[in-house]
Amino acid sequence: SKFCEQIVVLWNCDKPLPPRSKWPSTSVPLSVVEGQTKTMSSRFFPYNTIITDAILSLDEDSVLSTNEVDFAFIVWQSFPERIVGYPARSHYLDSSRSRWGYTSKWTNDYSMVLTGAAFYHRYYHYLFTHYIPGSLLTMVDRLANCEDILMNFLVSAVTKQPPIKVTQKKQYKETMMTQGSKASRWADPDHFAQRQTCMNIFSRWLGFMPLVHSQMRLDPVLFRDQVSILRKKYRDIERL
């Protein structure tokens, strides 16, 4: 991406760090931070290595085109206080059980954008590390789950607004369903149940439910319009 200033890799794997010669060459500085504790919450630590206000948070198996990254960043520049990204999730009130529910179904609204592929301001790393109680961070680390939900709670509590979902490639859903170990984790009932529990614990900590539903998705101008593909700035998004 023409907007990329640096690449920071957080190495939280149990395997040893590969030698520098094994890393790919890049057109921008590449830094590798080896996590000392190998925890989920370390993903959102305010590392001094990060020099830009905008952070594009990516899971190790995220697949985005340059057009998708560029467009999402342009959107984030207009909404720098919000999470802007791709995989969306939602919450609902389960009145029969008097608790909040979590759903990953593709519907007409959403209230979370997962940080496996999303832009947000680096200030939220500071808030995540220094404002959220240590007991919640410990729980996230113990479960190895819910850190993305907790970040959404934090940002929505600050902004009182929903995140912003942007156009994603057509194969995203199919890709998620065929990603081996990652797919099996998302399909694991225990993993899903943990996320339900996390939502209720987080809302009790805040004393209210901060998540806000939205039906807005931002697409590039001329997206899917019946004009020549050559006239479209982010033409590769439609070709995927």
Q: What's the rounded Cα separation, in Å, for the pair 224 and 221?
A: 9
Beta bridge partners of 57: 118
Strand partners, 92: 101
Angstrom distance (rounded) from CA 44 to CA 136 = 14
Strand-pairing partners, residue 166, are: 218
- Give helix 189-206 / helix 134-143 axis angle, nearest 10°: 180
188 counts as catalytic: no
Residue whose token pair is 């939220």? 124
Residue with tokens 């805040």: 206
Return d(Cα 129, Cα 227) in angstroms, integer: 47
**Phi, then psi, of 213 in degrees rounded to 5:** -75, 150
Cα Rg, the chain, nearest whole Å: 18
For CA atoms 136, 132, 90, 114, the dihedral sign is negative
How far apart CA 176 and CA 158 sit, in angstroms, is 30
Residue 182's contacts (CB-CB under 8 Å, 6 or more residues apart) are 59, 61, 176
Q: Which of 59, 94, 109, 148 is catalytic?
A: 148
The residues carrying an active-site annotation are: 148
